[in-house]
Amino acid sequence: MRTLYNSMLKICKGCKQQKEHHGKGYCFNCYRKNAWNRKKQICKRCKREIFIHAKGLCPGCYNFVFQLDNVKAQNYKKWYGLDAETYKKITKFCVVCGFDKIVDLHHLDENRKNNSKDNLAGLCPNHHQMFHNFEFRKEIRDILISKGFKIPEDIKIDFERRK
């Protein structure tokens, strides 16, 4: 009994195996290697001569333009266990100064594996660095505590206060 699938099985000119026929006497893999001539074009965004992915863009530019938000959402989920909306809500503005252009996610207990929403705060790059710099740490901790954040005791700073 002969079926449609069996009629498409032929000996490939490239690998000499009986596989599903794709075109010009080749199986799919051999066709891509031997017969398919992709044309290099100039990417509309980066102006490099490269194989075009879609919409006149190279693969890197295509992903940057059309997939950046999806990639960021996947990274937030992978790194912090947060969905994109929660991450954007936390990092909407710096809780110290209100800056809203570039905001980092800071773990208040400095344990990057503790991704509970109570442990996360949005800080601008300046205040984030100040928090991690021992010279300004007490100042930023006091501001965060006055804003209602629950920051665990810092043994190094609190040791100086006990004296």
User: Domain-by-domain residue ranges, the chain?
Assistant: 1-37, 39-81, 91-162
pTM of the model: 0.61
The pLDDT of residue 1: 47
Q: What is the mean pLDDT of residues 59-68?
A: 90
The pLDDT of residue 53: 85
Q: Which of 24, 21, 22, 2 is nearest to 10 (CA)?
A: 21
One-letter-per-residue 3-state SS of the chain: CCCHHHHHEEECCCCCCEEECCECCECHHHHHHHHCCCCEEECCCCCCEEECCECCECHHHHHHHHCHHHHHHHHHHHHHCCCHHHHHHHCCCCCCCCCCCCCEEEECCCCCCCCCHHHEEEECHHHHHHHHCHHHHHHHHHHHHHCCCCCCCCHHHHHHHHC
- Structure confidence at residue 8 as a pLDDT band (50, 70, 90): confident
* Centroid of chain to Cα 13: 42
For the cut 60, the answer to whether the pLDDT of residue 10 exceeds it is yes
| Bigger pLDDT: 147 vs 157 | 147
For the cut 80, the answer to whether the pLDDT of residue 5 exceeds it is no
C-alpha to C-alpha distance for 63 and 25, rounded to whole angstroms:
34
C-alpha to C-alpha distance for 93 and 62, rounded to whole angstroms:
29
* Per-residue model confidence as pLDDT tens digits over 45-59: 999 999 888 888 999
Locate tokens 């984030």: which residue? Answer: 128
**Long-range contact set of residues 56-65: C-beta below 8 Å, sequence gap at least 24:** none
The pLDDT of residue 127: 94
The pLDDT of residue 35: 78
Q: What is the mean pLDDT of residues 129-143?
A: 90
C-alpha to C-alpha distance for 149 and 121, rounded to whole angstroms:
9
The pLDDT of residue 111: 86
C-alpha to C-alpha distance for 30 and 15, rounded to whole angstroms:
7
Q: What is the mean pLDDT of residues 86-92?
A: 92
